[in-house]
């Protein structure tokens, strides 16, 4: 289907399962050679990614050879010396000190801890997080919104998200919490962004108008087209949900202006044909489409293993190459993973955490319990206090200290550590880190693609 | 060198060799007033053809690769006078580059006090030489002295024209790329005496706490670098008034301003020409 473009990292299609993961990983160009640098080749010459500050430099052949030789030695000093000579030394941008008591700026409300679908891999165990199905009372939601705005001042920006379970099972609370948020925003000069993650089966035309009015970022959990989606995201009775979703999506997709409706695809071993899924979903009219590997399911079902991740990397690379072609042609191609990667690499994003969980972002359960994020509802390992008495600062600061990427293995010596941040906390705590080679492989490809696109379409990056 | 910063964090971090921070668009003092990031004094380095001088001290820093032996040997010497005459083996006349500063002292105006060797500002000292002899191919005899041994040498050198023909563009032969921004406009380097455009001389912003005499004429004021802010008796008014001094020990040194951590305590705010109280 796609023209034969060379895949510029070593993994090629149809790879056989390899017994020793470590050996396979070490042979890859994306493998971690030295904690401070990552060297990569492109058709525009050799480059280096300096881990400190996420800096990308083109190198001459002799500079590359010197840095490469230094990186192969066992010490950090060898690379430090060469960097100093090249004028590349810099103070550390990220040190060991964790964030401490950061202000709350984003919350997600689990307005419904129940769901009408029975997705195989659901982190919420098909909606109720293993407890009794419940709704968030309106008062609880409004208190949470007040709490969010209370910590902010005029000019600040806050984010209010609705999750679950399936949030649209508690439409009333979404409406009134949003309206309260809009009121407080207006009154206090605090900018608010609204978002919702939904399975899409319960959307109505009125929802479309409401979300459009408030400029929601709407994320639809959808795993492909037709059977590809249905086999892992059925209704609780077992029938497929795809047809219903498409029908219910129509008013949202056609009305999105302030609202943005994106597709979030959970990738399992059963829906690995990513280029097809990407184009089919874009064809439906989604504003963007993003892929996320299923790494940790409470049921253990449909989790990705090493071979699956290897295939996923190949598939993502094919999607990326299509992205490159389209951007070079001056077209829009909202493959979300790539759009984000290009933005972050161009800016030189570098951070010691994978996200704001437990820092500026908290999840609120139907009972008003606070947790590090929406996945940790009813999960002690991410508990952060409750709304009534506020964020438990001791727990929070302990979380932030222990989850800093400098304290993680094998992260602390990996070149990707400030782009990856250590991986999703929930996945890591419950399953560990099976996806490091995938992440490095993907970032390695993205670095190469970045160099190519910067050369061919510098205007693409002008907004970053 | 093959190092090409590509993304934003690399571009922000990377300091390319040869461009001092003072010349970077984002940090140049020229953002405050265009031209402050240039030091025109740098154009005087090659006023004498064949040698490169330090524009502040007169040291011979380098010589041209095709310089004759008597010029080659000048590295390490200082030019102390140009266009001198040799009469019966004796050196006389010419334009001094260094002079011995002496005169009435601040403590006893009746005594001749020696303040030390000072280097003349070349925009004054060499202007007529440049005007008359620059670019003419005529050589003038220049006197050099070694600062350690005291040895004197006389070498004839031609005077360069610092501007392109029929133009006020600074000559490409006189200044290499990057040289004009290697230092700043003089006052920005705390060299207030070297101000070649006379902004400093005309405005004397180094005077603070000015006072008027009873008859309305200008009294005196403190040197803004004065660290003691002493006053003296003004007989006409019977009051103690500020006076200007350059005496070392009573004024802040370069290191006080540029290198000490408490420079903000040492320099006072001056509002409306007067020290903050």
The overall average pLDDT reported for chain B is 88
Task: Please provide the CATH number assigned to the domain covering A106-395.
Answer: 3.20.20.70
pLDDT at A8 over 70: no
Mean pLDDT over A30-37 rounds to 93
Out of A253-267, A435-449, B13-27, B105-119, which region has the weakest mean confidence (pLDDT)?
A: B13-27
Q: What is the pLDDT of residues A401-452, one digit of tens each?
A: 999 999 999 999 999 999 999 999 999 999 999 999 999 999 999 999 999 9
Out of B119-123, B168-172, B189-193, B247-251, which region has the weakest mean confidence (pLDDT)?
A: B189-193
Whole-model pTM: value is 0.70
Q: What is the pLDDT of residues B60-102, one digit of tens each?
A: 999 999 999 999 999 999 999 999 998 888 888 999 988 888 8
- Global ipTM: 0.89
Per-domain boundaries in chain B: 1-37, 39-174, 206-277
Record: contact B16-A87, CB cut-off 8 A: yes
Q: What is the pLDDT of residues B144-188, one digit of tens each?
A: 999 999 999 999 999 999 999 999 999 999 998 888 888 888 877
The predicted structure's pLDDT at residue A435: 96
Query: With contact defined as beta carbons under 8 Å apart, do A445 and A397 qualify?
Result: no
The reply to whether B168 touches chain A by the CB within 8 Å rule is no
pLDDT band at A149 (very low <50, low <70, confident <90, very high): very high
Start and end residues for every CATH 3.20.20.70 domain found in chain A: 106-395
Record: contact A346-B2, CB cut-off 8 A: no
pLDDT at A20 over 50: no
The predicted structure's pLDDT at residue A5: 37
Quote the minimal CA–CA distance from A48 to chain B in Å: 10
Give the separation between CA B156 and CA A142, rounded to whole angstroms.
91
Record: contact A55-B16, CB cut-off 8 A: no
Give the chain A residue whose CA is nearest to the CA of B11. Answer: A55
**Residue A17 burial class via C-beta count within 10 angstroms: exposed 0-12, middle 13-18, buried 19 and up:** exposed
Out of A288-302, A357-371, B30-44, B220-234, which region has the weakest mean confidence (pLDDT)?
A: B30-44
The predicted structure's pLDDT at residue B253: 83
The reply to whether B3 touches chain A by the CB within 8 Å rule is yes
Mean pLDDT over B96-109 rounds to 84
Mean pLDDT over A325-339 rounds to 98
pLDDT at A25 over 80: no
Q: How many CB pairs under 8 A join A and B?
A: 67
State the SS3 of chain A: CCCCCCCCCCCCCCCCCCCCHHHHHHHCCCCCCECCEEEEEECCEEEEEECCCCEEEEECHHHHHHHHHHHCCCCHHHHHHHHHHCCCCCCCCCCCCCCCCCCCCEEEEEEEECCCECCCCCCCCCCCCCCCCEECCHHHHHHHHHHHHHCCCCCCEEEEEEEECCHHHHHHHHHHHHHHHHHHHHHHCCEEEEEEEECCCCCCHHHHHHHHHCCCEEEEECCCCCHHHHCCCEECCCCECHHHHHHHHHHHHHHCCCCEEEEEEEECCCCCCHHHHHHHHHHHCCCEEEEEECCCCCCCCCCCCHHHHHHHHHHHHHHHHHHHHHHHCCCCCCEHHHHHHHHHHHHCCCCCCCCCECCCEEEECCCCEEECCHHHCCCHHHEEEECCCEECHHHHHHHHHHCCHHHCCCHHHCCCHHHHCCCCHHHHHHHCCCCHHHHHHHHHHHHHHHHHHHHHCHHHHCCC
The predicted structure's pLDDT at residue B259: 81
User: Which uninterrupted H or E stretch holds B152?
Assistant: strand B152-158
The predicted structure's pLDDT at residue A15: 34
The overall average pLDDT reported for chain A is 92
Residue A57 has its nearest CB partner, among B5, B15, B17, at B5
Record: contact A59-B16, CB cut-off 8 A: no
pLDDT at A74 over 70: yes
Q: Which residues contact A341 (CB under 8 A, 6 or more apart)?
A: A442, A443, A446, A450
The predicted structure's pLDDT at residue B1: 64
Q: Which residues of A fall within a CB distance of 8 Å from B9?
A: 53-55, 347-348, 350
Record: contact B14-A57, CB cut-off 8 A: yes
pLDDT at A361 over 60: yes
The predicted structure's pLDDT at residue B277: 64
The predicted structure's pLDDT at residue A4: 38
Q: What is the pLDDT of residues A51-73, one digit of tens each?
A: 999 999 999 999 999 999 999 98
Out of A144-153, A362-371, A414-423, B201-210, which region has the weakest mean confidence (pLDDT)?
A: B201-210
Q: Which residues of A fall within a CB distance of 8 Å from B3?
A: 57-60, 63, 86-88
A-side interface with B, Cβ within 8 Å?
47, 50, 53-64, 86-88, 90, 345-348, 350, 450-451, 454, 464
Out of A313-322, B23-32, B231-240, which region has the weakest mean confidence (pLDDT)?
A: B23-32
Give the chain A residue whose CA is nearest to the CA of B3. Answer: A59
Q: What is the pLDDT of residues A266-300, one digit of tens each?
A: 999 999 999 999 999 999 999 999 999 999 999 89
Sign of the CA dihedral with A319 first, then A324, A330, and A332 last: positive
Give the chain A residue whose CA is nearest to the CA of B5. Answer: A57
Q: Which residues of A fall within a CB distance of 8 Å from B17?
A: 87
Record: contact A464-B15, CB cut-off 8 A: no
Record: contact B3-A450, CB cut-off 8 A: no
Quote the minimal CA–CA distance from B26 to chain A in Å: 18
Q: What is the pLDDT of residues A80-134, one digit of tens each?
A: 999 998 989 889 999 999 999 999 999 999 999 999 999 989 988 888 888 899 9
The predicted structure's pLDDT at residue A24: 55
Question: Which of A348, A351, A448 to mutate to test binding with chain B, by most B CBs within 10 Å of its CB?
Answer: A348
Mean pLDDT over A189-201 rounds to 98
Give the chain B residue whose CA is nearest to the CA of A66. Answer: B2
The reply to whether B33 touches chain A by the CB within 8 Å rule is no
Record: contact A348-B16, CB cut-off 8 A: no
């Amino acid at each position: 289907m796609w023209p034969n473009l060379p895949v510029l990292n070593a993994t090629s299609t149809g790879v056989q399962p390899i017994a020793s993961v470590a050996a396979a990983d070490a042979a890859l160009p994306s493998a971690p050679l030295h904690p401070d640098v990552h060297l990569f080749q492109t058709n525009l010459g050799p480059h280096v990614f300096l881990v400190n500050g996420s800096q990308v430099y083109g190198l001459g052949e002799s500079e590359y050879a010197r840095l490469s030789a230094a990186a192969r030695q066992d010490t950090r000093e060898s690379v430090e010396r060469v960097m100093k000579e090249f004028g590349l030394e810099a103070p550390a941008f990220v040190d060991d000190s964790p964030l401490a008591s950061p202000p709350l700026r984003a919350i997600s409300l689990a307005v419904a801890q129940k769901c009408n679908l029975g997705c195989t891999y659901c982190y919420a165990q098909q909606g109720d997080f293993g407890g009794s199905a419940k709704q968030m009372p309106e008062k609880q939601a409004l208190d949470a919104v007040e709490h969010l705005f209370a910590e902010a001042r005029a000019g600040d920006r806050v984010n209010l998200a609705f999750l679950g379970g399936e949030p649209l099972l508690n439409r009333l609370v979404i409406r009134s919490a949003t309206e309260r948020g809009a009121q407080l925003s207006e009154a206090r000069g605090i900018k608010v962004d609204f978002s919702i993650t939904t399975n899409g089966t319960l959307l109505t035309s009125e929802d479309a108008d409401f979300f459009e009015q408030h400029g929601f970022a709407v994320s639809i959990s959808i795993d492909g087209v037709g059977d590809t989606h249905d086999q892992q995201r059925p209704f609780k009775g077992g029938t497929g949900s795809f047809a219903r979703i498409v029908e219910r999506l129509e008013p949202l997709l056609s009305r999105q202006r302030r609202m943005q409706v994106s597709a979030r695809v959970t990738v399992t071993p059963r829906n690995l044909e990513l280029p097809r899924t990407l184009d089919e979903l874009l064809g439906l009219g989604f504003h963007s489409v993003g892929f996320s590997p299923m790494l940790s399911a409470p049921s253990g079902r449909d989790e990705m293993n090493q071979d699956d991740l290897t295939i996923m990397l190949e598939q993502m690379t094919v999607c990326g190459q299509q992205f490159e072609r389209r951007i070079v042609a001056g077209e829009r191609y909202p493959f979300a993973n790539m759009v984000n990667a290009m933005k972050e690499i161009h800016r030189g994003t570098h951070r010691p955490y994978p996200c704001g969980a437990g820092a500026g972002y908290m999840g609120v359960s139907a009972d008003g319990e606070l947790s590090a994020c929406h996945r940790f509802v009813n999960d002690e390992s991410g508990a952060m206090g409750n709304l009534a008495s506020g964020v438990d600062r001791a727990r929070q600061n302990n979380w932030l200290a222990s989850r800093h990427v400098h304290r993680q293995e094998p992260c602390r010596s990996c070149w990707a550590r400030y782009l990856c941040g250590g991986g999703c906390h929930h996945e890591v705590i419950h399953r560990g880190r099976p996806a490091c080679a995938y992440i490095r492989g993907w970032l390695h490809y993205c670095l190469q693609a970045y160099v190519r696109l910067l050369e061919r379409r510098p205007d693409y990056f002008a907004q970053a | 060198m093959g190092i090409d910063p590509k993304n934003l964090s690399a571009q922000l971090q990377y300091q390319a060799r040869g461009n001092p921070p003072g010349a970077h668009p984002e940090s140049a003092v020229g953002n405050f007033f265009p031209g402050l990031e240039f030091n025109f004094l740098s154009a005087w380095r090659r006023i004498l053809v064949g040698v490169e001088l330090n524009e502040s001290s007169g040291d011979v820093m380098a010589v041209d690769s095709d310089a004759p032996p008597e010029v080659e040997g000048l590295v390490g010497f200082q030019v102390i006078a140009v266009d001198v005459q040799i009469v019966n083996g004796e050196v006389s006349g010419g334009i001094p580059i260094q002079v011995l500063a002496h005169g009435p002292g601040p403590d006893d105006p009746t005594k001749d006090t020696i303040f030390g060797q000072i280097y003349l500002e070349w925009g004054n000292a060499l202007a007529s030489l440049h005007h008359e002899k620059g670019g003419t191919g005529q050589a003038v005899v220049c006197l050099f002295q070694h600062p350690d041994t005291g040895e004197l040498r006389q070498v004839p050198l031609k005077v360069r024209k610092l501007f392109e023909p029929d133009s006020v563009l600074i000559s490409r032969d006189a200044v290499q790329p990057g040289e004009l921004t290697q230092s700043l406009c003089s006052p920005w380097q705390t060299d207030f005496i070297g101000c070649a455009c006379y902004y400093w001389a005309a405005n004397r912003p180094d005077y603070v706490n000015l006072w008027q005499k009873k008859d309305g004429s200008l009294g005196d004021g403190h040197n803004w670098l004065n660290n003691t802010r002493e006053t003296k008796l003004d007989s006409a008014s019977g009051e103690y008034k500020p006076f200007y001094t350059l005496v070392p020990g009573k004024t802040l040194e370069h290191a006080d301003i540029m290198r000490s951590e408490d420079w903000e305590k040492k320099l006072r705010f001056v509002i409306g020409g007067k020290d903050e109280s």
